[in-house]
Amino acid sequence: MNHNKDLPHQNKLKLKPKPKAVIVGGSIAGVSCAHALILAGWDIVVIEKSRKPPKGSPAGAGLALDLLSQELIGAWTGRPELLHEITSPLTIDLNQAINDEKTRKTLAREENFNHRAAHWANLHDHLFSALPPEIFLWGHLFLSFSVSNDKQSVKIKAQVLDTKETAEIEGDLLVAADGCASPIRNHYFPDVKLRYSGYCAWRGVFDFSGIEDSKTIKNVREAHPELGKCLYFDLAPGHHNILFEIPNKRLNWIWFLNQPEPRLKGNSVTMKVSDGMIQKMYQDAEKIWHPTLIQVMRETKEPFVNAIYDCDPLEQIVWDNVVLVGDAAHPTTPHCARSTNMSILDAAVLGRCLEKWGSENLIAALKEYQSIRLPVASKQVLHARQVGRIKQGLTLPDCRPFNPNTANWEECEMLQLRSVPFFGHNPLLG
């Protein structure tokens, strides 16, 4: 007997099962999508190869959240005041030239920057902690996926790392948040490769908790009097570095230097460094940077090298019921503070499109997502590539290599983050 046939129409609608999305990747792009899709009325499963959440991990580095990302995260978690507590203000974007005498001059300065600084692990924990823990499948390594013949469902296979068994998860939508080396993107674009930028970055996070009154910190604050609210860029011919403060008494620093592409293992874009490599880094840095930055570098535990890649803009980022988000959709160089912000905005736009069209119009929803995000992200990726080449003094078409010590005002204008396409007015819906 069909006990539902006499129910009112409204109650019948309530019995309709929620659509289900499987998100591959539990980094910031993945957890952001989980928030956005739950708000859009979807059930969520997140597959992540890490065996546990990175809570309390020193992994990752500093990042800058723009105003829209701050608003979106606050709406997702319902705790905007907590986001404020785990971030610190970045109200100034400052580019400076440093010469052989280690003196600086201002190239470009923006005082209404409206970003906030965060540590990757803190931001991830903030987003993750506001989600139902049961939606995560930790220790699941993505293997493959298949779309049903009628394009109505997708099946994901993953290896359970603890048991080596193969798990199968089915859903109505596959969200690929599986990073810049995305196997899912590679399925559709096997010939698309990551593009080496021509330079790598030494980077680290210096924890000065408990030594706030040390000579190192006094010197660095004297040399950088606006730390705590300023994103500092120092530029020397063929080099640039970044320095800014993040919460819990930490300084985030990055030094970009031109070099041949390193040999990397697997899909990682970071490389292990030896004590000898670190000592040589200190010696080379002393020839270029201010002594206060050298001291911060020397006192940073476990600095590492990050090879810098991006990818030429893709022709599409949706296929049937499969969608790319975050670095899977648009690997980018880090010069315009866009990678995390683009991932958060991808999630927000995807969620709003799914809510607008409903699960019965999934193809239309994904088509609109692509129409909104693809042109914006493509322009931002290419802009970040150009800015990186400018700051590193690399060649550009119809343009002499940039020299920060002789650059004119027009050349320096490109250095500002507000020169990024769509800065401050990213569309959420068409």
Do 44 and 132 belong to one domain?
yes
Number of domains in the chain: 2
Do 98 and 131 belong to one domain?
no
315 located within any domain: yes
Domain interval for residue 35: 17-59+123-193+311-398
- Side chain identity at 143, as an amino acid letter? L
Do 201 and 259 belong to one domain?
yes
Please list the pLDDT of the chain residue by residue as tens digits (430 residues). 444 445 455 554 456 789 999 999 999 999 999 999 999 999 999 999 999 988 766 666 889 999 999 999 999 999 999 999 999 999 999 999 999 888 999 999 999 999 999 999 999 999 999 999 999 999 999 999 999 999 999 999 999 999 999 999 999 999 999 999 999 999 999 999 999 999 999 999 999 999 999 999 999 999 999 999 999 999 999 999 999 999 999 999 999 999 999 988 776 788 888 999 999 999 999 999 999 999 999 999 999 999 999 999 999 999 999 999 999 999 999 999 999 999 999 999 999 999 999 999 999 999 999 999 999 999 999 999 999 999 999 988 877 889 999 998 888 988 999 999 999 888 887 6
Which residue, chain included where needed, has tokens 């060649």? 395
Do 150 and 174 belong to one domain?
yes
48 located within any domain: yes
376 located within any domain: yes
Do 202 and 286 belong to one domain?
yes
Do 129 and 21 belong to one domain?
yes
430 located within any domain: no
CATH number for position 220: 3.30.9.60
CATH number for position 331: 3.50.50.60
Do 40 and 175 belong to one domain?
yes
What secondary structure, in 3-state letters, does the chain show? CCCCCCCCHHHHHHHCCCCEEEEECCCHHHHHHHHHHHHCCCEEEEEECCCCCCCCCCCCCEEEECHHHHHHHHHHHCCHHHHHHCCEEECEEEEEEECCCCCEEEEEEECCCCEEEEEHHHHHHHHHHCCCHHHEEECEEEEEEEECCCCCCEEEEEEECCCCCEEEEEECEEEECCCCCCHHHHHHCCCCCCEEEEEEEEEEEEECCCCCCCHHHHHHHHHCCCCCCEEEEEEECCEEEEEEEECCCEEEEEEEEECCCCCCCCCCCEECCCHHHHHHHHHHHHCCCCHHHHHHHHHCCCCEEEEEEECCCCCCCEECCEEECHHHCCCCCHHHCCHHHHHHHHHHHHHHHHHHHCHHHHHHHHHHHHHHHHHHHHHHHHHHHHHHHHHCCCCECCECCCCCCCCCHHHHHCCCHHHCCCCCCCCCCC
Instruction: Confirm if 151 and 321 have CB atoms less than 8 A apart.
Output: yes
171 located within any domain: yes
Say if pTM beats, i.e. exceeds, 0.85.
Answer: yes
